[in-house]
């Protein structure tokens, strides 16, 4: 009977956690869309504002475009946060083992947060890739599908690499005119050029990111490894976020416990004797911790989103590998994955990310405690 009750309690906790993550993600997702579009759409000469991004999304996709890709983020956040809190609880249980008061040091909470954030980044990366591509598509002009005549001129090789691809015949004609002075044994240069993947757009450039946004399109053109593109900046971002989030949350938790213990008589010796804190206070402290961690790690979030919006076909990746393409930037930038061209764009959308992470953390923690208090018998 006790085993059945424990299984039921665990299922209730898991369901409450998943529902709270879904609720927090759905409520704050428009802020995430605006933030991501500001990060990937800005340039050094023309940084975008939230009003510019909102106007473009409203014109091209309507207000529903603010929720493009929300399903992928909910799945990624559910798995990612489950891994984050799971790894954190395992590590903190190891730290607290053998202590009489089960007290957790601030440094231990930060180290456990760094480790949990690293694991979370590897789990949630594929979902974030598809989510960011869907957000960019909501602010991009939808191209009309190619006609039957256009489809017929696309060779099988290009069709396999990029489904629904139609060649840019204007750019192809310009390429032919540049090569017209060369002598060749093949009388039909146009058909020959079509067989090369790098001419699939007719200009030698990869297709726009809005045309490579689904899982099948990403895998067919860029390969499975593209789902973890920008893993360096992603790991740095999530490890910093996890460490600062759990460290600051532990600090605020201790402050609230000490504040509550001041008015108690006698003064409690251990934290367990103080009693539980108010769910409202815990959720607010989680929101403050989330906003603080988001502010510190925001530069790496910008780098991660911009790298995920770069279409890099498999053949280009192999070329760079064979040619031992050098990485640009100083040692810190090469280590963390920051592109030198993004130095002036790292803080774009920092206010939106702080608001999103702070609000989402408060909603997730608050709704989780609310569900547990009403569903799990005391």
More confidently predicted of 325 and 131: 131
| pLDDT of amino acid 188 | 59
**Residue 144: pLDDT over 60:** no
Does pLDDT of 31 surpass 60?
A: yes
- How far apart, in Å, are the Cα atoms of 333 and each of 42, 236, 305, 340? 20, 12, 16, 7
> Any long-range contacts for 328-334 (C-beta under 8 Å, 24+ apart)?
none
pLDDT: which is higher, 287 or 317: 287
pLDDT for position 146: 46
Q: Which of 65-69, 148-152, 355-359, 367-371 has the lowest mean pLDDT?
A: 148-152
Return the structure tokens found at 151: 């489809």
Tell me, what's the pLDDT at 205?
Answer: 63
Can you tell me the distance from the alpha carbon of 173 to that of 111, in angstroms, rounded to the nearest whole number?
Answer: 58
Question: Whole-angstrom Cα distance, residue 369 to residue 119?
Answer: 25
279-308: b (≥16 Cβ within 10 Å) or e: beebbbbbbebbbbbbbebbbbbbbbbbbb
Q: What is the pLDDT of residue 169?
A: 56
pLDDT over 80 (residue 148): no
Backbone angles phi, psi at 112, to 5 degrees: -65, -35
Average pLDDT over the chain reads 82
What pLDDT is stored for residue 97 in this prediction?
81
Burial class of residue 271 (count of CB atoms within 10 Å of its CB; 0-12, 13-18, 19+): middle
Residue range 307-352, pLDDT digits in tens: 999 888 887 777 777 878 788 888 898 889 898 888 889 999 999 9
Residue predicted with more confidence, 190 or 205: 205
Q: Where would I find the H helices in 180-311?
A: 189-194, 215-222, 231-262, 279-308
Weakest mean pLDDT among 161-165, 204-208, 259-263: 161-165
In this predicted structure, the answer to whether residue 92 has a pLDDT above a threshold of 80 is yes
Q: pLDDT tens for residues 93-112?
A: 888 887 777 788 899 999 99
Which helix (H) or strand (E) element contains residue 179? helix 169-179
Percent of the chain at pLDDT > 70 equals 80
Q: Which one of 40-44, 101-105, 286-290 scores highest in mean pLDDT?
A: 286-290
> To the nearest whole percent, how much of the chain has pLDDT over 90?
45
Domains of the chain listed by start with CATH number: 2-140+224-375 (1.50.40), 148-207 (no CATH)
Residue 105 phi/psi, 5-degree rounding, is: -75, 155
Tokens of 160: 């396999």
Instruction: Please give the residue that has the higher pLDDT: either 79 or 193.
Output: 79
H or E segment to which residue 2 belongs: helix 2-41
3-state secondary structure of 185: coil
Given this model, what pLDDT does residue 136 score? 93
Nearest-angstrom CA–CA distance, 274 and 267: 9
Residue among 62, 28, 34, 61 nearest 48 (CA): 34
pLDDT of residue 178: 53
Q: Cα–Cα distance between 159 and 170 in angstroms, integer? A: 19
The pLDDT of residue 208? 79
Least confident window among 6-15, 164-173, 236-245: 164-173
For residue 247, what is the enclosing H or E element? helix 231-262
Give the angle 208-31-211 at the CA atoms, nearest 5°: 15
pTM equals 0.82
């Amino acid at each position: 009977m006790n085993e059945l009750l424990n299984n039921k309690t665990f299922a209730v906790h898991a369901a409450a956690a998943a529902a709270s993550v879904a609720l927090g993600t759905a409520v704050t997702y428009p802020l995430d869309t605006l933030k991501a579009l500001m990060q990937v759409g800005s340039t050094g000469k023309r940084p975008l504002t939230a009003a510019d991004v909102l106007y473009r999304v409203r014109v091209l996709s309507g207000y529903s475009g603010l929720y493009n890709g929300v399903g992928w983020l909910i799945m990624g956040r559910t798995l990612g946060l489950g891994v984050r809190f799971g790894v954190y609880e395992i590590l903190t249980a190891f730290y607290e083992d053998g202590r009489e008061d089960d007290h957790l040091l601030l440094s231990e909470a930060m180290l456990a947060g760094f480790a949990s954030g690293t694991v979370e980044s590897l789990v949630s990366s594929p979902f974030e890739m598809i989510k960011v591509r869907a957000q960019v598509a909501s602010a991009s002009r939808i191209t009309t599908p190619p006609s039957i005549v256009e489809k017929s001129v696309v060779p099988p090789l290009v069709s396999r690499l990029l489904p629904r691809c139609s060649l840019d015949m204007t750019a192809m004609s310009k390429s032919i005119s540049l090569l017209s002075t060369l002598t060749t044994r093949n009388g039909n240069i146009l058909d020959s050029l079509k067989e090369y993947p790098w001419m699939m757009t007719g200009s030698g450039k990869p297709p726009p990111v809005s045309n490579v946004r689904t899982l099948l399109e990403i895998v067919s053109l860029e390969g499975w490894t593209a789902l973890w593109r920008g893993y360096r900046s992603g790991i740095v971002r999530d490890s910093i976020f996890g460490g600062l989030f759990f460290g600051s949350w532990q600090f605020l938790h201790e402050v609230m416990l000490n504040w509550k213990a001041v008015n108690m008589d006698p003064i409690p010796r251990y934290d367990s004797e103080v009693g539980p804190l108010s769910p409202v206070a815990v959720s607010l402290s989680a929101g403050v911790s989330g906003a603080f961690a988001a502010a510190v790690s925001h530069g790496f979030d910008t780098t991660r989103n911009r790298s995920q919006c770069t279409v890099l076909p498999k053949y280009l990746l192999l070329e760079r590998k064979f040619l031992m393409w050098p990485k640009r930037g100083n040692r810190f930038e090469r280590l963390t994955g920051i592109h030198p061209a993004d130095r002036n764009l790292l803080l774009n959308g920092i206010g939106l990310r702080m608001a999103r992470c702070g609000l989402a953390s408060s909603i997730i923690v608050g709704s989780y405690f609310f569900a547990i208090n009403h569903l799990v018998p005391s």
